Amino acid sequence: MPFNSANKVAITGVAHSKLGRRQERPIGALAVDACLAAIADAGLTVKDIDGVATFPQTTGPGVGPEPGVSSAPFPWMTEGLGIEELNWWGNGGGNISTAIGYGIDAIATGRCNNVLVWRAMYQPRSGAFGSGTRNTAADAAARPAPRASMGQQFTAPYGFGDAPSGFAPAYMRYMKQYGAKRHHMAAYTVELRKNANKNPNSVFYDQPMSYEDYMNCRMICDPLCLFDCDMPVDGAAAIILQRADLAEAGPQKPAYITALGSGSYDWRTIPPEQWRYASSGNIGRTLWSSTYMKPTDMDGAMFYDGFSPDVYWWVEGMRFCKFGEGFEFIQDGRIAIEGGELPINTFGGQVSEGRLHGIGHWVEGVKQTQGRADDKPGDGARQIKNVNNILVCTGMLGHGNGVILSTEPR
């Protein structure tokens, strides 16, 4: 179905809080920091915000049990920000990009004018997630045994109880099916670390990584090594969605949303060989059908990378190459900022900037579209030259959305 909201919505303001491992400041304060900064970046005030969206609202990844301390839910945030009146609010189901998609629809259908979207991530300080206890034998004995429900009841007893153990077989199968090797992935992880070294927000900002570092890294779940996994952090980021005709009066150049696609599935209920078709494939199918543009019209791409092999499924599912050719597509500098045919995750991605569950990709996509990705120019250029269209796709383990951000209406 064609996207009927093209050019009706733009992203105008973006911001990060400080990102770091187990920060002392509470998550609510970090989320407020990011939201206020994004509002100011768009040239707005809190009173201008008439819509809000986030994910998740209560339980989910990156959410602790204490509002304001280890989570940033709607009631706490609206009060903490001083928002007095809202015309619309939405909770994305499955991924922050879903919340963003709902916000786009809300503006395009006239329900509100300025939507604030945030994603806050909390990492447990010790022990089991949200337990607040140390991980000792006594603590473990006092906690109830974990329960496996829905599709996990058929996988958890065999060792597939978490994301790495679920992704590793899919990655291994891809390698065996198409002939990819671990050294092919180094083209992605090493390039992204270079990008992170140009990004002051990155947790690996001052930590270079070589090809040898990657190849000698310890395994988490073969063939996934430590550097193939996203980096857990405490922090938050926020974006401002705005009615396009209003966005033109702001201090930043609007990043127009000119195409949108979506896809959904439960990764625990389908065979690994179908993953690349079920999420990225559906987003690609619906996105390209909503626009006259083609993959070759993209000047860069921000692809969700909970694990580095995601990049293979994205470039294939989004039709930059055929299935089974993704590992070859990213070689020889094709994804590099300087001289690359398709620069990917120019901010370092989640594997090097830090895991904000996808919203960091949206922040970077907007910055690249607005021509202001060089946060600290003296540390090296991160801005892609001559940008017209940036592709942003997030959501690999559930419902997700992809958009084209453009410098002008298309």
pLDDT value at residue 131: 38
Q: Please compute the mean of the pLDDT values over residues 110-124 and round it to a whole number.
A: 95
Contacts of 38 (CB under 8 A, 6+ apart): 13, 14, 15, 116, 118, 237, 238, 239, 240
Q: Is the pLDDT of residue 279 over 50?
A: yes
| Lookup: tokens for 13 | 């303001």
pLDDT classification of 147: cutoffs 50, 70, 90 = confident
Say if domain 9-124+232-406 classifies as CATH 3.40.47.10.
yes
**H or E element that contains 259:** strand 255-263
Q: Is the pLDDT of residue 3 over 60?
A: no
pLDDT value at residue 42: 98
Cβ atoms of residues 348 and 191 within 8 Å: no
Which position has the higher pLDDT, 38 or 271? Answer: 38
pLDDT value at residue 129: 37
% of residues, the chain, pLDDT over 70:
88
Ranges of each domain in the chain: 9-124+232-406
Cβ atoms of residues 333 and 186 within 8 Å: no
Q: Is the pLDDT of residue 1 over 70?
A: no
Tokens 């946060």, residue?
375
Q: Looking at 54-68, 106-120, 180-194, which range is the least confident one?
A: 54-68
Q: Among the residues of 4-134, which ranges form H helices?
A: 27-41, 74-81, 96-108
Tokens 């064609």, residue?
2
Q: Looking at 12-21, 79-88, 90-99, 121-130, which range is the least confident one?
A: 121-130
Q: Is the pLDDT of residue 7 over 70?
A: yes
With H, G, I as helix, E, B as strand and everything else as coil, classify residue 203: coil
pLDDT value at residue 156: 76
CA–CA distance, 312 with 229 (Å, rounded to integer): 15
- Pick from 194, 217, 218, 220: which is nearest to 207 by CA? 194
Q: Is the pLDDT of residue 172 over 60?
A: yes
pLDDT value at residue 397: 61
pLDDT value at residue 127: 45
Q: Please compute the mean of the pLDDT values over residues 208-230 and round it to a whole number.
A: 97
CA–CA distance, 282 with 262 (Å, rounded to integer): 7
Q: Is the pLDDT of residue 395 over 60?
A: yes
Q: Please compute the mean of the pLDDT values over residues 54-80 and round it to a whole number.
A: 89
% of residues, the chain, pLDDT over 90:
73
**H or E element that contains 187:** helix 182-196
Q: Please compute the mean of the pLDDT values over residues 203-226 and round it to a whole number.
A: 97
Between vectors from CA 334 to CA 332 and to CA 340, what angle results, nearest 5°? 125
Tokens 């180094």, residue?
186
Contacts of 323 (CB under 8 A, 6+ apart): 276, 316
CA–CA distance, 272 with 269 (Å, rounded to integer): 9
Q: Is the pLDDT of residue 338 over 60?
A: yes
Tokens 């690999």, residue?
396
Residue 157: φ, ψ to 5°: -60, -20
Task: Tell me the whole-structure pTM to 2 decimals.
Answer: 0.92
